[in-house]
Amino acid sequence: MGGNLITVGLQWGDEGKGKIIDVLSEQYDAVVRFQGGANAGHTVHVGDEKFVLHLIPSGILHPGKQCIIANGVVVDPECLAGEIEGLKARGIDVEGRLWVGDRCHVVMPHHKLFDELREAEKGGPDIQTTQRGIGPCYADKAARDGIRFGELIDPVIFRRRLKHVLKARNLVLTRIYDADPIDFDSVYERYSRLGGTLGPFVTDTVGMLHGFSREGRSLLLEGAQGSMLDINFGTYPYVTSSNVCAGGATVGTGLPPSSLGQVLGIAKAYCSRVGGGPFPTEQDNETGELLRERGNEYGSTTGRPRRCGWLDAVALRHAVQINGAGTLALMLLDVLSGLGEIKVCTRYRLEGREIADFPGDTGVLENVEPVYETFRGWSDDLTGAERFEQLPAAAVDYINAVEKITGVPVKMISVGPKRKQLIVRGG
Ligand code: IMP
């Protein structure tokens, strides 16, 4: 097999992956999601139309492309059914092109409820999740208490599994949280109906993907969230519950590492983070506000304002390393136009000591002070630039600096939300 590509976010999510995947989809036969769930939100602009997708790969907007939600994704059937309906209503053909793995775990109402209850608990980390039930669903998966799509679509098996699962969950709800129990009948009725609606889309995606590989069809593997939210390598416990990094593509699809090909890392020209947790380069000031307004940094899933700050090259180098990113896409470069100077954090300082490597201990990260390198800004509007040569010298210097700091070439530069506002170097 050849010609596959894994795309991953290198920061805290919201790097603009949706746009890159949308542009690249044209060159691949199938687009595959491998982790996360409806906590993600990919915004894609096609002409004057705007699409926001949470579960369905944005490849669906390209006629004829196969789109696969592989087994590493946790799928909220209500959300998926809604997205399918929304696409159909806008004339997008879904049947025979969209597939959901029969091993995907189902996000159930109790997962969303536990997500809310846990966030409301005092004393724990203030993660500020998207409340989409992601953490509790992955927790049940690991505890071997989850329900998979193959079970959801079989009313007899689903009844048995739901009975067992709700019995245990209702004990926790009533005895620990002093909350009302979840009613079996209404959940069974609603979810078995959803199982019926979604049944035609459910298949053995492992077999399907291996079949595609044998036929020499190329795959674009679409990562959601960002590496700093990875359950293993991110800022734990302020992370999401899935394997966000490139390695997640193999456990999340059943395709072996040797078959997966190159990794494209996607990073914004600055940083943003939504939700709680350490963010050393955060600019809780006018600069941060300017980046937020210019970059329209509001969550596409929750609408929450994102925290914004300078590029954190310590975190970026860590992400490049664990993902094995061979090329970079640098997004939202246009947002930096008009800033007198631009800063990049190249090291951290803690108690007089400098740290060049990203610390595994989140407690350390909470206390570091960023050490910045300052670059000159540019005033030119970049949104019309079509070629690298049209960029102002200061923007070129900035891109060169990103390459030098990470050791990875910047292959794509995004200068606006539209498909066309993308400079591809050497291609
Ligand atoms: P969860 O994934 O809903 O459990 O949220 C865990 C953390 O990850 C929270 O800080 C969320 O704000 C963050 N998060 C989850 N999904 C995304 C995303 O797609 N973009 C940015 N942040 C996300």
- Average pLDDT score over residue span 31-58: 90
Q: Do 389 and 305 fall into the same domain?
A: yes
Q: Ligand 1 atom 1: the closest Cα is on which residue?
A: 129
CA distance 13 to 375: 25
Indicate the pLDDT class of residue 1, thresholds 50, 70 and 90.
Answer: very low
Ligand 1 centroid to Cα of residue 6, in Å, is: 20
Q: Average pLDDT of the chain?
A: 95
Per-residue model confidence as pLDDT tens digits over 11-29 = 999 999 989 998 999 999 9
Of ligand 1's listed atoms, the one at least distance from the Cα of 130 is 3
Ligand 1 centroid to Cα of residue 125, in Å, is: 14
Instruction: Say if CB 59 and CB 19 are below 8 A apart.
Output: no
Residue 397 annotated to the active site: no
Q: Do 158 and 212 fall into the same domain?
A: no
Residue 124: left (phi > 0), alpha (psi -120 to 50), or beta?
Answer: beta
Residue to probe by mutation, ligand 1, list 129, 235, 301, most atoms within 8 Å of CB: 129
Which CATH number is 416's domain given?
A: 3.90.170.10
- Pocket lining: 127 vs ligand 1, CB cutoff 6 Å: yes
Q: Do 273 and 411 fall into the same domain?
A: yes
Say whether pLDDT at 195 is over 80.
Answer: yes
**Encoded tokens for 269:** 């020209």
CA distance 77 to 202: 11
Q: Do 90 and 142 fall into the same domain?
A: no
Domain count for the chain, please give it: 3
Q: Do 148 and 290 fall into the same domain?
A: no
Say whether pLDDT at 317 is over 90.
Answer: yes
**Encoded tokens for 365:** 């990260």
Which CATH number is 212's domain given?
A: 3.40.440.10
- Average pLDDT score over residue span 208-232: 97
Range of the domain at 350: 267-424
Say whether pLDDT at 2 is over 60.
Answer: no
The answer for residues whose C-beta is within 8 angstroms of residue 299's C-beta and 6 or more apart is 14, 41, 130, 274, 305, 306
- Average pLDDT score over residue span 347-363: 95
Q: Do 184 and 273 fall into the same domain?
A: no
The structure's pTM equals: 0.96
- Average pLDDT score over residue span 398-419: 96
Per-residue model confidence (pLDDT) at position 60: 93
Say whether pLDDT at 162 is over 90.
Answer: yes
Per-residue model confidence as pLDDT tens digits over 181-190 = 999 999 999 9
In the set 22, 42, 105, 140, the catalytic residue is 42
Q: Do 313 and 404 fall into the same domain?
A: yes
Per-residue model confidence as pLDDT tens digits over 220-230 = 999 999 999 99
Residue 102 annotated to the active site: no
For the stretch 392-397, contacts whose Cβ atoms lie closer than 8 Å and that sit 24 or more positions apart, written own/partner, are 395/333, 395/336
Ligand 1 centroid to Cα of residue 305, in Å, is: 13
Per-residue model confidence as pLDDT tens digits over 357-397 = 999 999 999 999 999 999 999 999 999 999 999 999 999 99
Q: Do 71 and 143 fall into the same domain?
A: no
Per-residue model confidence as pLDDT tens digits over 282-311 = 999 999 999 999 999 998 778 889 999 999
Pick from 117-126, 228-237, 319-328, 401-410: least confident: 117-126
Indicate the pLDDT class of residue 427, thresholds 50, 70 and 90.
Answer: low
Selected residue with higher pLDDT from 43 and 213: 213
Q: Do 113 and 226 fall into the same domain?
A: no
